[in-house]
A and B are shown apart, each in its own frame.
Chain A
Amino acid sequence: MKKIGIIGIGNPLRKDDGVGIILLKRLQQRKKEFPKNLEFIDGGTGGMNVLHLLARFKMVLIVDAVDFHGQPGEARSFTLKDIQSKKAQVQLSTHESDFLNVLRLSKKLKELPQTLVIFGVQPRDISHGMGLSKEIELVLDDLCIKLQKEIQTLVK
């Protein structure tokens, strides 16, 4: 069993909502630079499959589009506590309620990873269509570097 799961979530057919999947693919291309106990997974649009995925890891980093009222392309990391707190005003784009319910269910099943971090990227446009907004396209390299740092912190 690999200990750390990097799970990209999102729908590339809803423009910026697909940023999680696009970042995941970029990281996957540089797989060799990361420790071997890392597994990269395209979690699609989430749902119950994420529940089964969570059960496999002690640490999970979820990469997803998150509306935290920031600037498009801005990235922030959240813990489970942050997203459950109403003060944080966090919206997990198109799959919010679904995702929180899945986390709750995972907790009930005693399968929630010990560490769960959500790397959220502020989307600008999640309407139907393909391709990212310019603001996000421009910072993809920076986002990858930030993600790498996040992974390094997890691995330590």
Chain B
Amino acid sequence: MVERSVVSMSKDFSLHVEHVTRVEGHGNIQVNVKNGEIEKVEWRVVEAPRFFEAMLRGQNYNELRPITSRICGICSIGHSLASLKATEDALGVHITEQTAILRRLAINAENMQSHILHIGYLAAPDLFGVGSVFPLIGTKHTDVVLTIVKLHRLANEMSDLICGRTIHPIRLVVGGFSMVPTEKQLLHLRQRLEEARAITRTVAEVLHGVADKLPNFTRETEYIALSIDDEYALYQGDINSTDTGKHPEYKNYQSIMNEYVVQQSTAKYAKHARDSYMVGALARFNLNSKELHPAAKEVAAMFGLKPINTNPFMNTIAQLVEFAHNIEDSLHWIDVLLENGMKDEKPVKVKPKAGHGVGIVEVPRGILVHDYTLNSKGYCTKANCVIPTNQNHANIQKDMEKLVPEILDKPEKEIELTLEMLVRAYDPCISCSTHYLDVTFV
């Protein structure tokens, strides 16, 4: 249900957006202004927690991946990979080179799927001044909508091929893959990705034509993402911060991601060196842009995107840059697979044992951690998942606090739209983030 009310008097107004549309899940915005003074600016997450960590307790190590996949319909591949890495870390399992490459293709497929959906269906309508992508059909922008649909379909089909399903993968298992694609299938995918190269450029050009609609707002903050030498880190790397540098002790992730509870939100907030930090495409770009493929660097240059960019609205553009990179990176890894020759490998055999493992990957919305403790029979006794959107909530709040005074002289409708656009720029996955909450009953 969408309910909006903007009440205005000379210097007083209250703005209440319930719920912000074109995001995953439910979040509200509340702004109160009295006598021209801002009384309240709040980003509120109102969804019920889902207790996934509690569901994992008592489950066999083989079940952790399929269960956590269901945390998110958009990032099911990312959750699967974080889960597998954590499980394999706890059990001391070493995967083959072919598995590592196929997992990189899987993560690229998901990044492409999610990014093009956000850029095309969720963010672009704001730039074209329409409520959704559908009114653009039949206008001069028809072609770009059709292009976006084609790119989205390609990313879906790539997920189907590598993971066995568009969402909630079935081929990703502990120790490897239950089924691998054939060389013929990979060659066909290669051809499709090459075709996508050119049309991605078209999408970039069209978006460039309306990029001036992105608010010119900046706020310095900390950016956190995985980083690794000679690779644009998605599948592996060390936790890296624009404030404090690399933190190779991956099991010590909680010293970086300090989660805390606030009154207005059912999702936890997080902070590290400052009051808030940002994760996601812009954070990755700010930390790792030199590792991008030249084709992606060209897209960044087109929009004047340089590190360190402190405009959160540019996250959507950073996603487009990553999309171009994912295509090139996938082509590279397909070539490596074809050169090596596809082997019909079975997953590495696993012996259940007690252990503690942490798996960290970059998913479309940012850095994701799964942390499992297993008993000697391989059953989970403790679990923790730190979700990207969780880590962004505090940053959204801090952005709003700086942004509202800067646009207070604008018409209320414009203030409302700008704040909604800010939330959308983070591409939040709110349902995922409302995973855990300490409730004290008095």
Complex Cα gap A104–B149 (Å): 13
Assuming A108-B146, A109-B146, is B134 touching A48 (CB within 8 A)? Answer: no
Complex Cα gap A101–B125 (Å): 15
Name the CB-closest residue of A to B145: A105
Name the CB-closest residue of A to B167: A49
- How far is the CB of B13 from the nearest CB of chain A, in Å? 31
Q: Across the interface, which residues of A come within 8 angstroms of B134, CB to CB?
A: 101, 104-105
Task: State which of A49, A52, A104 has its C-beta within 8 Å of the C-beta of B137.
Answer: A104
- How far is the CB of B376 from the nearest CB of chain A, in Å? 39
B290 close to chain A: CB less than 8 A = no
Could you say which interface size class chain A belongs to?
Answer: 10 to 19
Complex Cα gap A55–B121 (Å): 19
B218 close to chain A: CB less than 8 A = no
B85 close to chain A: CB less than 8 A = no
Complex Cα gap A49–B137 (Å): 18
Assuming A104-B137, A105-B134, is B146 touching A48 (CB within 8 A)? Answer: no
Q: Which of B121, B134, B142, B156 has the most CB of A within 10 A?
A: B134
Q: Across the interface, which residues of B come within 8 angstroms of A49, CB to CB?
A: 166
B402 close to chain A: CB less than 8 A = no
- How far is the CB of A132 from the nearest CB of chain B, in Å? 24
Assuming A51-B149, A52-B153, is B142 touching A108 (CB within 8 A)? Answer: yes
Task: State which of B121, B149, B156, B166 has its C-beta within 8 Å of the C-beta of A109.
Answer: B149
**Would you give the 0/1 interface string for B144-161, flagging 1 where the beta carbon is closer than 8 Å to chain A?**
011001001100100000
Complex Cα gap A108–B146 (Å): 8
- How far is the CB of B112 from the nearest CB of chain A, in Å? 15
Q: Across the interface, which residues of A come within 8 angstroms of B142, CB to CB?
A: 108
Complex Cα gap A48–B137 (Å): 14
- Asked if A108 and B121 sit within 8 Å, CB to CB, the answer is no
- Asked if A108 and B156 sit within 8 Å, CB to CB, the answer is no
- Asked if A105 and B153 sit within 8 Å, CB to CB, the answer is no
Complex Cα gap A49–B166 (Å): 10
Q: Across the interface, which residues of A come within 8 angstroms of B156, CB to CB?
A: 52
**Would you give the 0/1 interface string for A102-121, flagging 1 where the beta carbon is closer than 8 Å to chain B?**
00110011000000000000
**Would you give the 0/1 interface string for B129-151, flagging 1 where the beta carbon is closer than 8 Å to chain A?**
00000100110001001100100
Complex Cα gap A105–B145 (Å): 9
Q: Across the interface, which residues of B come within 8 angstroms of A105, CB to CB?
A: 134, 137, 145, 149
Complex Cα gap A101–B137 (Å): 9
Complex Cα gap A118–B121 (Å): 26
**Would you give the 0/1 interface string for B197-208, flagging 1 where the beta carbon is closer than 8 Å to chain A?**
000000000000
Q: Which of B121, B149, B153, B166 has the most CB of A within 10 A?
A: B149
- How far is the CB of A36 from the nearest CB of chain B, in Å? 21
Q: Across the interface, which residues of A come within 8 angstroms of B149, CB to CB?
A: 48, 51, 105, 109
Q: Across the interface, which residues of A come within 8 angstroms of B121, CB to CB?
A: 48
Q: Across the interface, which residues of A come within 8 angstroms of B152, CB to CB?
A: 48
Complex Cα gap A101–B133 (Å): 10
**Would you give the 0/1 interface string for A49-62, flagging 1 where the beta carbon is closer than 8 Å to chain B?**
10110010000000
- How far is the CB of B150 from the nearest CB of chain A, in Å? 8
Complex Cα gap A5–B149 (Å): 21
Q: Across the interface, which residues of B come within 8 angstroms of A55, CB to CB?
A: 153
Residues of A that sit less than 8 Å from B by CB = 48-49, 51-52, 55, 101, 104-105, 108-109
Contacts A105-B134, A108-B146, A109-B149 known; list 19 others, CB within 8 Å: A48-B121, A48-B149, A48-B152, A49-B166, A51-B149, A52-B153, A52-B156, A55-B153, A101-B134, A101-B137, A104-B134, A104-B137, A105-B137, A105-B145, A105-B149, A108-B137, A108-B138, A108-B142, A109-B146
Among all A-B residue pairs, the 6 with the closest Cβ atoms: A101-B134, A52-B153, A108-B137, A109-B146, A105-B137, A104-B137
Residues of B that sit less than 8 Å from A by CB = 121, 134, 137-138, 142, 145-146, 149, 152-153, 156, 166
Chain A to chain B contacts (Cβ below 8 Å), 22 pairs = A48-B121, A48-B149, A48-B152, A49-B166, A51-B149, A52-B153, A52-B156, A55-B153, A101-B134, A101-B137, A104-B134, A104-B137, A105-B134, A105-B137, A105-B145, A105-B149, A108-B137, A108-B138, A108-B142, A108-B146, A109-B146, A109-B149
